[in-house]
Amino acid sequence: MVGAKGGLHFYDDSKGTNVGSTVAALAGLSGTALEPGARVVLIAGGEGKAQDFSPLKQAVKNAARAVVLIGRDAQLIEDALQGASVPVLRAGSMEEAVVLARSAARSGDAVLLSPACASFDMFRNYGHRGEVFREAVKRLTDAAAR
């Protein structure tokens, strides 16, 4: 966990660069770390490496309140999530994604960065992506403290 504020918990799984990792992160977080009734707001997207994103649909349906998509292959992920009955939002930057995720979340929810994609379309590497996420969370939580 990289931060908590206003009843929300923020998790960095920037290393989750494939669909299987993101499915596992959603299942693990929703199965153990959340209070009853709480959900996950997933931040995902980037360079998809020609993956099949269809396994995300059921995982998102089971665990997510909303999905915020970033990066080059956001449309491919959105297409794969059709019918999951979960709102899908788009962000042009990680900072915007964190703000949108915060707005979509409810108290007790988790905001999870688990991109299911490589980072190279927007960031130097997955570590840089995680750093930008953590900085955006810090700015958000610092602003809320004022």
pLDDT in tens, 106-124: 999 999 999 999 899 898 8
Q: Taking the CA atoms of the chain, what radius of gyration do you get in angstroms?
A: 14
Q: Which amino acid, 54? A: S
Q: Which amino acid, 41? A: V
Structural domains in the chain, sorted by start: 3-145 (3.90.190.20)
pLDDT, averaged across the chain: 93
Mean pLDDT for 35-40 is: 91
How far apart are the C-alpha atoms of 78 and 141, rounded to whole Å?
28
Higher pLDDT, 134 or 31: 134
Closest C-alpha among 90, 109, 105, 97 to residue 133: 97
Asked whether the predicted pLDDT for residue 13 surpasses 90, the reply is yes
Report pLDDT digits (tens) over 54-78: 999 999 999 999 999 999 999 999 9
pLDDT class of 30 with cuts at 50, 70, 90: confident
Query: DSSP string covering 8-37, please?
Result: EEEEE-TT--SHHHHHHHHHHIIIIIS-TT
pLDDT class of 32 with cuts at 50, 70, 90: confident
pTM, rounded to two decimals = 0.94
Encoded tokens for 25: 């992160």
How far apart are the C-alpha atoms of 122 and 96, rounded to whole Å?
13
